[in-house]
Chains A and B, each alone.
Chain A
């Protein structure tokens, strides 16, 4: 049984997890860097431990410091949230070795899905369609050219150890391949400490649709339906919703079946997400599996009226999943907007600083997950996510209308935010009609 949970994270997700802990009567421990001393997540925990200087490497990514904090605060479980150490199998293993419950999947599942070529191989073997390309690290530009000749241009070069869209290089014609290969390996080395890259067909105007899965290690693996996450910039999601609009029932069914089959193939335990690209012809391809709680998990919670974080904690302490597949329904529509401290008028340039004023609406059908409050200082060291706005409705139109109103009434002063951009997205025909794809933002579809 878990009694005390340490959350190895910061901001809105730490607060979200603390809320689930309180609901289950569990004690909470926050960790914080020197930059976060005055953050709401630190104040809200029953106990808080300083773990180092502001750079993430020396605090939120420092495994030894976090395990030491768990020991001194007598935590018996660690929830990693998303980002930071959440998909680091060595951390999950170190938690186990220290006698702690890691709230997430096994180190093996994290490792297998974290190696993008191994993940593709495993998924293909489980019958899940994957994007045509090399399933292995490509040795050099010559080999990349050989593979590309088979699958056709354009292609994308990706870091084997990568994720989150970092280090990807698109190639449109044969004469660019050698240079692009050099760029991609250099980026991979800089970002992930490993130069290995692989090559994949680049899909034009695909949608990003993902399936929330959950396994309990006792033979039950379910899905909690899909999330449409096509509105992205530099492969970072900005708006997510469920149910996915204009998704044919047969396609949706295929995605859910493939996701569950994939999760079962790796013996997946706890919450995870299988991401797919869906092309215009209705073909779908495995993109990657996120072996953790997603930023956009509230969308699924609002649609299904189930609490994913509470379920994560229950399953982590050995309970069986309380849900049967046929009971998990999409009861309503929900949409989420991520508000970042970035200036959309200046090419989404980061905008750290002090939040001088913060006014967010509340009311029927509105949920807000915020890491900041008026007076908070947004540091330069971390991800720029300030808060998430989530609305739900009995129809898609109602949820969208509600979100548009929430964005109109949201006031942030002191730092620039993506709110003006999000207002344009919500007013657009593309969003209103549910006809979106992953390249829209970069193509300027929502420029003011």
Chain B
């Protein structure tokens, strides 16, 4: 099952902590956003493998934007 992981807030991509192929557990940080001087992880909603990372470091993302795809 493929699932999109969306940003839950507006921010700048601070760090990409996973790469395609990585197996992750529910709650693991997929990327870290920075908003207003706070680092906020975007977490995997369930366990799975990263299929795709859709953002790059330094990019601004809006709330609801897809940042990665889980399979």
Contact = CB atoms under 8 A, between A and B. Distances in A.
Tell me which of B8, B10, B36 has the highest count of chain A C-beta atoms within 10 A of its own C-beta: B36
A380 B60 contact: yes
B10 A384 contact: no
Given A350-B35, A352-B35, A380 B40 contact: no
A446 interface: no
Interface residues of B, number: 12
Interface residues of A, number: 13
B37 to A, nearest CB: 6
Contacts of B11: 350, 352, 380
Interface in A376-391: 380-384
A383 B40 CA distance: 14
A384 B37 contact: yes
Tell me which of B11, B38, B40 has the highest count of chain A C-beta atoms within 10 A of its own C-beta: B38
A349 interface: yes
Interface in B1-51: 8-12, 34-38, 40
A425 to B, nearest CB: 21
Nearest to A347: B40
A383 B10 CA distance: 14
B36 A382 contact: yes
B38 A350 contact: yes
B71 to A, nearest CB: 28
A420 interface: no
A55 B11 CA distance: 12
A170 B40 CA distance: 20
A376 to B, nearest CB: 14
B64 to A, nearest CB: 13
B31 to A, nearest CB: 15
Nearest to A385: B36
Contacts of B10: 350, 352-353, 380
Contacts of B40: 349-350
Contacts of A342: 36
A344 to B, nearest CB: 14
Contact of A383 (B8, B12, B37, B60): B37
B37 A382 contact: yes
Contacts of A381: 12, 36
A381 B12 CA distance: 8
B2 to A, nearest CB: 27
A383 B38 CA distance: 9
Contacts of A177: none
A397 B5 CA distance: 49
9 contacts: A341-B36, A349-B9, A349-B40, A350-B10, A350-B40, A352-B10, A380-B12, A381-B12, A383-B37
Given A380-B10, A380-B34, A383-B37, 7 more contacts: A352-B9, A352-B36, A353-B10, A380-B35, A381-B12, A381-B36, A382-B36
